[in-house]
Structure 1
Amino acid sequence: MAFAGRRIWIIGASAGIGAALARALARQGARLILSARDGDALELLSAECGGAQALPLDLGRPETLATAVAQLALKMQLDAIICTAALYNPSRVAEIDPTQAEAMVRVNLLGMIEVARLCPPLLRDGGQLVLFGSVAGYIGLPGGQPYSATKAAVNNLAETLATELAPRVTVKLVCPGFVQTRLTARNTFTMPAIITAEQAAEAVLRGMQRRRFEIHFPRRFTWAMKLVRVLPYALSLRLLRRLS
């Protein structure tokens, strides 16, 4: 996909990888619709991106997504929809805050399901639906709950959609490793192979121009995690206990 002139909707655009994607796509001449909870941040980013349309919504409130979809359905067909939105507050299982866990499930999983349910009709034939899972969803990591569980579910959801929506819509699953954002700034451990949001955005755009289903990066880290995932549990759980 060449991006010049393409209509692309980014959900979760106000910060992190979403904002980096908006800037990168604007430089390439894409016509953007930008959504997130933070309306003020969206307005600033929209001005920075050559007057992109700001369309605030909150995936934790599904009615706001439905309203946005209804507005867009009256105006245009889209070439791609990219959903990066997620909440992040990992913890050990015994230390989970139930309120925060519920919010993460509502946004990261149920919100993504609503995107999967409502958004594909907005796409032209051959359009792309790009969903952000995570390397954290490959295998249960110590201290990673409930975030890792929601991302494992999103990975599974994208796999399902890749067959259900084919051939009219192309589904892409993005599985980042560690990326420098305000969310990962909460981590208190050394993050291996960490990259910038701008590097992550470049990797996503390259992946959207290729045929592969999964876009994962940085590969020196993600391939190692894929290897752990395919090991017998007797080996993989032993390795993960060392991390714990």
Structure 2
Amino acid sequence: MPEQETIWIIGASDGIGAALARLWSKQGVRLILSARSESKLQTLVSELGAHHIAIPVDVSNRESLEQAAEQITAHAPIDRIIHLAANYDPGSVLDADPLKAGEIVTTNLTGSFHVAQIAPRVLRRGGQLALCGSVAGYFGLPQGQIYSATKAGVINLAESLRSELEGVVDVRLICPGFVDTRLTKRNDFTMPALISSEKAAHEIISGLNKRRFEVHFPRRLTLALKLLRALPYWAALPLAGRLTQRKEN
């Protein structure tokens, strides 16, 4: 590892991405910060310091990512890519808007595919690519809508990449539980084991500095859902139906 790491965070404008940027900045890391909102990125760079770089990116647009990659590689290979950008629209599958569902698939799953293909030419050899799944991808939970399906796809994609890129890129998978962010505030059910973005950032950095493929947290939730996934469907499906209770008005 070089003395000063350079890390590209995609999805850095708020939530977990912004919390990661603040924490890594305090540790002396040089950051390249990307998201769709240029104004939010510039505000974050102003807060963290001018030695960090803001590059607006829309992961659903391949050309946008290609341009960003070209701009980054003009300087030097980077050490890590942390891909967190995601779209979310809670609700039941039957109530989902088809156009919105398509946007979620394009951002969450196709966007992860775009990042995965571009990563090897941007990273130094042996550099780290972390894709963000979710515990929502472990099992088809009520109110997960198309979001859960895309995150299951991201988990599968990361597993494939881990084998395909062995020795070239250090592929990791991040699976957070419920984190208090702009997106999760839209949920109308009680979120078990809810944690802050700052706590999530600490968990991610600690996990990525270790050797395990998957970084998942908080464990009191993730281990229970892993157990649910391991059960036969006749036992798991009735349990899943009880997991998301709506908030009382």
Q: Which residue number corresponds to residue 17 of structure 1?
A: 16
Alpha-carbon displacement from aligned partner over 1:180-233 (angstroms, at most 9, x marks no partner): 000000011111100000000000000111000000000111000000000011
* Aligned ranges 1:1-244 → 2 under 5 Å: 5-51=4-50, 52-243=52-243
Runs of at least 4 residues off by over 4 Å: none
Give percent identity, aligned residues only.
Answer: 54
Query: In the comparison of the two structures, how many residue pairs are matched?
Result: 243
Report SS of the residue matched to 1:87: coil
Alpha-carbon displacement from aligned partner over 1:163-196 (angstroms, at most 9, x marks no partner): 1111121111000000000000001111110000
Counterparts of 1:243 and 1:119, CA distance in 2: 36
Alpha-carbon distance change, 243 to 219 in structure 1, aligned in 2, over 3 angstroms: closer
Counterparts of 2:31 and 2:243, CA distance in 1: 41
Report SS of the residue matched to 2:229: helix
Counterparts of 1:26 and 1:11, CA distance in 2: 15
Counterparts of 1:119 and 1:241, CA distance in 2: 38
Quote the offset at 1:90 in angstroms. Answer: 2.2
The runs of 5 or more residues in structure 1 that have no matched partner are none
Q: What amino acid is aligned across from residue 180 of structure 2 in structure 1?
A: Q
Q: TM-score, normalised by structure 2?
A: 0.95
**Do 1:204 and 1:215's aligned partners in 2 also have CA atoms closer than 8 Å?**
yes
Counterparts of 2:161 and 2:10, CA distance in 1: 18
Report SS of the residue matched to 2:224: helix
Report SS of the residue matched to 1:130: strand
**Do 2:25 and 2:48's aligned partners in 1 also have CA atoms closer than 8 Å?**
yes
Alpha-carbon displacement from aligned partner over 1:30-76 (angstroms, at most 9, x marks no partner): 01000000100000101212221000011122210111011112211
Q: What amino acid is aligned across from residue 43 of structure 2 in structure 1?
A: L
RMSD (Å) for aligned C-alpha atoms: 1.2
Q: What amino acid is aligned across from residue 38 of structure 1 in structure 2?
A: S
